[in-house]
A and B are shown apart, each in its own frame.
Chain A
Amino acid sequence: MHQLKFDQKVCASCRSADCLLKCQYMTFSGHKEAHGEMMKIMKGRDSRVLTECMTCYACEEYCTRGNHPFYLISERREKKGMFTAPRPITNQWINMTQMQGKYLVGDVKDIALSCCYIPDLGALGTGEIFRDVASAGVFGAEFMCPAVHTHFARMSVIKERLPVVIENYRKLGVKEVICLHDECYGTLTSIASAYGMEVPFKPVYYLDYVLERMKELKEKIKPLNITVAYQRSCSNRLIPDKLPVVKKIFQLIGVKAPKRTYQDENALCCAEILRSISGYKLADDVVKRNIDDMLNVGAEYCVFNCPACQISLSEKVAKRGLKPVHIIDLCKMAIGEKERGTA
């Protein structure tokens, strides 16, 4: 079984303890307390973090010293038999994402276009932007990144399933897998490396692919001249180096994303997992602050990068006058493939 690579010495000597000090859902009196809690977790002792962590993934980004605090928290929780979300919800996710041999594989040669296990991704990965790869789609639990189980502190599921997913791709003989979901790219890069799993193909971040394609399609772009707010997903925290790609795409298609209080490192998640773990109070508060902030900067659109965030927030933003749209659809709007506001 794969073991989490966690350098205890790095943590022991850490002067920032940013992982916990920056956490949006817990407060600590200062470095001493935060660092002390991290030490407890490392040593397998009880820590309030194990009961209070909302699984937002953000500490994976906050730790800049190469350790994986969130994966460690999840490991420790599982070892102690703890549940983050209610037990039936946790098990439902495990059951729902089981491999049952019901997958779809398109015309895959060197490249596969991963639609994970999310039907909406199939519709997004189409049109002129995906012209060369749309037919190479793969979909199903067999190709699903199991990262979602980190929310439920079930790292054992990830350790068991991720090697199978990687092997399934390998069997396709692909050289590259374009991941249409941050979670997949984050899994094949961050999680796989944290657990020392070899990935025998190149994971490609879909927004890198989209950016290149949009550059090629520059002639067709009609600047959208709109103001948007970007909804960062939890799994984007696993791949913070990819954050600038969004800004580059926005620039290319004439989209303004004014600076918000809750953006980048300080972004608020869609809150669906908070609702599941602790109830509506915290979730409603986060959603309200998030949408207020979007409106405060004059956004007309709320731009999503993750279909799960989109499902969770679309109705809520729409009720407050914002148009929900996936970033791929926004690009399709810029090249005239989709009508404005209909995404």
Chain B
Amino acid sequence: MRDIRKSLVDIVGERGVSDAQEELWFYSRDPGVLAPHRPDYVVAPKTTEEVQKIVRLANREKIPVVPMGNGMSLAGLVIPLKGGIVMDMKRMNKILEVNSMARYVVVEGGTSQGALKAYLQEHHPTLRHSIPDAPPATTIAANVSLHGQGRLTNQYGFNSDMVTGLEVVLPTGKICLVGSPSIGPYWISKGPTLPDLSGLFLGWLGCTGIITKVGLKLYPNKKIRDAELFVTDRVDLIPHILYKLTHLEMLEDINVWFQPKPLMFLGNFHITIFFTGDTEEEIEFKRKMIWDALQEYMDSKDGGFMAIQYMKSVLLEMPGRNIADFADVPKGGGFEYSGPIAPIEHFPQYAAKLVELAAKYNVLYASAARLISGGHCMMFSISFAFNRNDPAMMERVEKALDEAMAFALDMGGIPWKPNFKEQKMTLEKMEPNARNLLLMIKKNLDPQGIMNPGNWEVNS
């Protein structure tokens, strides 16, 4: 083991490696409810070559490697379930290229959402990327590794759909370029019109390789952003309301949320509708289209728009911070959510299940669903807050989340950023040939099973 530490130091230098107990303590856990597990080493490479050397070493020595961004998935995805090396990617944080005409950016595998946002604001104010509501220190590569969603997901799909090319260090230590960069200098397509190899890495939670570069689509950054907040107390109307809104084909993002606290939110479902424009006329036109689309619900008194002037600045924040506030309602600052991807028509059933689970396990709930690709599906977040200093409460939340995922799978939903237990449940439910295909891919790419072991573990 001593030699391993030394070998790691040889690769990244003394300051890039740690096996100090206090640091391992931090790297053994994430903010969710899953039990911690200690890694043996933490290593923070600065270059692709260093990543390669570390992976080669791990492959030779059969040591697990867990790539880590900011460790904020809440699903324990960077908890080193089988020990080994946690590879903290945050020092690989360069923004390598912006092609403003082709509207894409190439970043290193540890670049954070916040860094890219700030960079674009300063250097390319007419461009933006799809910012998730995760804390700004979370990383872009991690987000596409788990098929994240952001502010532009309603318009353009999962954030991973916006990838325009990858550089990956395979579990053997080889570098592989995926998409158009494998042919020429332009990062314009992750797959099409070639066989789309990006699927070997996106959604794999670091189990098939380490992303060292990501090409990402950028989109027009309109001068004005605005929001409306529609509320209804009839959950059965939500799918219809969303259908009408998505039919407009002009909205930036649509989030549906409900929670029992504070009291003003009790009993209602809230739909935050974000839209953008370059002029006041464009904004007012869109606002009228939104109001017109939902007028019938106002006339029937079933729904209405809230006056939101006093909360608009909070609503328009990117990332939105109010989700995290919820974590502190029971004090002790913990929350975790499972976010199945489901058809919008199932919103009422999911909502009922969430309330049922919260009552059954005596925990505080909240939900915020995000529409994906103009309404083909939604991410329905099943969130529970807990006190980190209350193990019994954490256990109840864990059980509630397990049950929620079983329900989602029964309903034909698919899990988003599933923890290792949810992955198992999903694989059990999966059609056997599809499961075998996953197994083939995993075995071929990672013959030693060193990449984030315990996750997407397919047994034949």
Contact = CB atoms under 8 A, between A and B. Distances in A.
Nearest to A91: B267
B263 A95 contact: yes
A89 B304 contact: yes
Interface in A87-115: 87-89, 91-92, 95-96, 98, 100
A276 B264 contact: no
Contacts of A96: 262-264
A315 interface: yes
Contacts of B295: 279
Contacts of A18: none
A296 to B, nearest CB: 21
Interface residues of B, number: 26
Interface residues on A, range: 20 to 34
Q: DSSP majority for the A interface?
A: helix
A185 interface: no
Contacts of A86: 231-232, 297-298, 301-304
Given A95-B266, A95-B267, A96-B264, A311 B310 contact: yes
B306 interface: yes
Nearest to A315: B309
Residue of B265, B301, B306 most packed against chain A (CB within 10 A): B301
Contacts of A314: 309
Contacts of A312: 307, 309
A91 B303 CA distance: 11
A131 interface: no
A28 interface: no
Contacts of B262: 96
A11 B89 CA distance: 79
Contacts of B263: 95-96, 98, 100
Nearest to B266: A95
B306 A89 contact: yes
Contacts of B310: 311
A85 interface: yes
A319 interface: yes
Given A87-B301, A98-B263, A280 B288 contact: yes
Interface string B290-334: 010001011001111111011000000000000000000000000
Interface string A310-324: 011011000100000
B307 A91 contact: no
Contacts of A278: 298
Interface in B262-279: 262-268
A83 B233 CA distance: 14
B305 A87 contact: no
A275 interface: yes
A264 interface: no
Residue of A85, A87, A280, A312 most packed against chain B (CB within 10 A): A87
A272 interface: yes
15 contacts: A86-B231, A87-B233, A87-B301, A88-B303, A88-B304, A89-B304, A95-B264, A95-B266, A100-B263, A272-B307, A276-B305, A280-B287, A311-B310, A312-B309, A319-B280
Interface of B: 231-233, 262-268, 280, 287-288, 291, 295, 297-298, 301-307, 309-310
